[in-house]
Amino acid sequence: SQTIHQWPATLVQPVGSPLSLECTVEGTSNPNLYWYRQAAGRGLQLLFYSVGIGQISSEVPQNLSASRPQDRQFILSSKKLLLSDSGFYLCAWSVTDGNTIYFGEGSWLTVV
Amino acid sequence: AQSVTQLDSQVPVFEEAPVELRCNYSSSVSVYLFWYVQYPNQGLQLLLKYLSGSTLVKGINGFEAEFNKSQTSFHLRKPSVHISDTAEYFCAVIKYSGAGSYQLTFGKGTKLSVIP
């Protein structure tokens, strides 16, 4: 069966520091991968999605970037964090052309 | 453009009572609809989905939802709730964004609180 893991689960970072959140999917090949953010009062927002290695689409202009160095690995990064980057970040996956999206456990980011 | 409206931000209900969480959608094309549940400090778990076929969809944990095209609704129901159902519930609609990828549009969520 397929599983998705993301880490770290919790992160407290100072303003201006870099960020790296990592997500991996097991048990499937060539998945679609997604990064969502859940911030207080703003619901769930799609940040990035990827349909293949090196292919990244950005939905919202922001201080963050994403990369997909391997088929089942998706990384969310920032060079300099802002206070407004705080939130709950969720990685998700689906099969290619799949209409059902499955989520990871989430990562809490607090920028102080 | 697609959108999802969850009409109640919070729903308190007594244990063993029935519950209905309301969801309305707007879309100019055929839709796929989903309900996800989020327990405190956890990710989203798929409860159920409607893709086609029978308009009454059964999901995990005793939940079910009914797709009503004329009313553009996809309300979630459970005949008897348990304390463990306390969570936030998200309704979502999916659209095909091209190149083999789908994207979810979520409602703002409904927090279900089950009172002992």
User: Residues B33-61: pLDDT tens digits?
Assistant: 999 999 988 899 999 999 888 899 999 99
For residue B45, give how far its alpha carbon lies from the nearest alpha carbon of chain A (Å). Answer: 7
Q: Do B90 and A49 count as a contact with CB atoms less than 8 A apart?
A: no
Largest CA distance in chain A: 39
Q: Cβ of B51 under 8 Å from any chain A Cβ?
A: yes
Residue whose structure tokens are 């609180």: B113
Measured distance CA(B114)–CA(B87) in Å, rounded: 9
Whether the per-residue pLDDT at B99 is higher than 80: the answer is: no
pLDDT digits (tens, 9 = 90+) for A38-61: 987 778 889 999 999 999 988 876
pLDDT digits (tens, 9 = 90+) for A2-13: 899 999 999 999
Q: Do B32 and A99 touch (CB under 8 A)?
A: yes
Report the relative pairing of strands A107-111 and A10-13 from DSSP bridges.
parallel
Task: Say if residue B74's pLDDT is above 90.
Answer: yes
CA dihedral B3, B6, B7, B12 (to 10 degrees): -170
Q: Is B62 helix (H, G, I), strand (E, B) or coil?
A: helix
In this structure, chain A runs to a length of: 112
d(CA A13, CA A19): 8
Which residues, in sequence order, are bridge partners of residue B10?
B111
- Is the CB of B39 inside 8 Å of chain A's CB atoms? no
Q: Token pair of A71, please?
A: 């088929």
Structure tokens at A43: 């619901």
